[in-house]
Chain A
Amino acid sequence: MKEYHCAVPLILVLCFAFGCQDKAARAELEKFKAQAAVEQQNLALVTKVFDELNKKNTEVYQELYAPDYGWHFPSNNPKGLTREEEEGFSKMLWAGFPDMRYDLKEMVARGDKVMVRFITGGTHSGEYQGLPPTGKKVEASGMWIGQVIDGKIVNAKEDFDVLGWMQQLGMELKPKEPKK
Chain B
Amino acid sequence: MGQNAATLRRFLEESDNRNLDAWRDICTSDYRLHFAGNAPMSLEEHIQANKSLPEAFPDFRHTIEDIVAQGDKAVFRATLHGTQKGTFMGIPATGNAIQYTAMGMARFKDGKIAEMWMEADFLGLFQQLGMELRPKETKKST
Chain A contacts to B: CB under 8 angstroms: 39, 72, 74-76, 106, 108-111, 113, 115, 117, 131, 139-143, 145, 157-164, 166, 170-177
Contacts and interface: CB of A to CB of B under 8 A. Distances in A.
Contacts of A172: 133-136
B36 interface: yes
7 contacts: A106-B73, A106-B105, A110-B69, A141-B119, A157-B77, A159-B101, A161-B122
| A76, A106, A131: residue with the most chain B Cβ atoms closer than 10 Å | A76
Secondary structure at the B interface, as helix, strand, loop or mixed, is: strand
Given A159-B101, A159-B119, A164 B134 contact: no
A175 B130 contact: yes
Secondary structure at the A interface, as helix, strand, loop or mixed, is: strand
Interface residues of B, number: 36
Contacts of A113: 66, 68
A72 B99 CA distance: 14
B88 interface: no
A151 B12 CA distance: 32
Contacts of A143: 75, 103-105, 117, 119
A163 B119 contact: no
Contacts of B132: 173-177
Given A170-B136, A171-B134, A74 B70 contact: no
